[in-house]
Amino acid sequence: MKTLFEKIIAREIPARIEHEDEQCIVLHDIQPQAPVHLLIIPKKPIPRIGEAGPTDEALLGHLLLTANVLAKKLQLADGFRLVVNNGPCAGESVPHLHVHLLAKRQLAWPPG
């Protein structure tokens, strides 16, 4: 069974796409927690970061570098936060690894 993100990648479900390349797709979150809230999603279906392996190293680096490219494109020089949830107790709602990019508001610490 495909995850929600796999259906979006396959264009079976519409989404507001900010960026796409061969390895990932970047969407605007449908329930944003900040004025900028993007989801950076690998096209390879990895359920969560805890299940990523050594062969995923380059892909994981690509996700972070994509976040940096988008932060520059969206002029987020004041700062941004990257979040990766791992498991339901961490707030994971879709079992497909993704990186949240949040910005354009003051973010509290500690998070959550």
The torsion defined by the Cα of 5, 105, 90 and 85, in degrees rounded to 10, comes to 40
Collect all residues with Cβ–Cβ distance below 8 Å to 104 and sequence separation of at least 6.
34, 35, 36, 76, 78
- The active-site residue out of 28, 37, 96, 98 is 98
Is 62 annotated as catalytic? no
Positive or negative, the Cα torsion across 91, 23, 4, 105? positive
- Angstrom distance (rounded) from CA 107 to CA 111: 8
Question: Which residues belong to the active site?
Answer: 98
